[in-house]
Homo-oligomer: A and B are copies of this chain.
């Protein structure tokens, strides 16, 4: 259940959120190849979106592709060896940025060089990712939502 009235500092993009769901599912059956069509149907998400995410995961060597009948994508490494921080860093890279930590017009605040907050936020972000790195995909593996 959602939790009322708590701070929500952690904002993952939909890209990262969907990517994590796919990987959670794949981690529950690491020997099996999954198609994006099948994952899209299982989670009720857009196949187009998932295909883009899968491409990025493939380029980074987190998933590999198996061709032919029963083909699809599967984890390229054992789930216990894929840390959550690694996945989040990869999926968040280049996505809608933090207000002042990232490039783009929204990032300009006029305090450049005088802002000591930036370093503090960077340190806190590192703590966030380091904490995620304490867990792996094996820790969040998700069995089939609608077992056949």
A80 to B12, CA, bound (A): 31
Interchain nearest-CB distance for A89 vs B (Å): 5
Knowing A112-B1, A120-B139, the reply to whether A8 touches B102 (Cβ < 8 A) is: yes
In the complex, chain B residues whose CB is within 8 Å of the CB of A132: 120-121, 124
In the complex, chain B residues whose CB is within 8 Å of the CB of A126: 131
Q: Hey, what's the 0/1 contact readout for A108-148 against B, CB within 8 Å counting as 1?
A: 11111011110011011111111110110001111101000
* CB pair A9 B127 closer than 8 Å: no
A116 to B142, CA, bound (A): 8
Question: Which of B9, B112, B141 sits near A128, CB closer than 8 Å?
Answer: B9
Knowing A88-B7, A93-B6, the reply to whether A114 touches B129 (Cβ < 8 A) is: no
In the complex, chain B residues whose CB is within 8 Å of the CB of A93: 5-7
User: Which of A6, A110, A125, A143 is most buried by chain B, counting CB atoms within 10 A of its CB?
Assistant: A6
A8 to B100, CA, bound (A): 10
Determine if A78 is an interface residue (Cβ-Cβ < 8 Å): no
* CB pair B98 A120 closer than 8 Å: no
* CB pair A10 B96 closer than 8 Å: no
Segment at the interface with B among A13-21, A30-38, A56-64, A67-75: A13-21
A sample of 9 cross-chain residue pairs with beta-carbon separation below 8 angstroms, ordered by A number, consists of: A2-B104, A7-B88, A7-B129, A11-B97, A24-B116, A110-B145, A111-B142, A123-B134, A125-B128
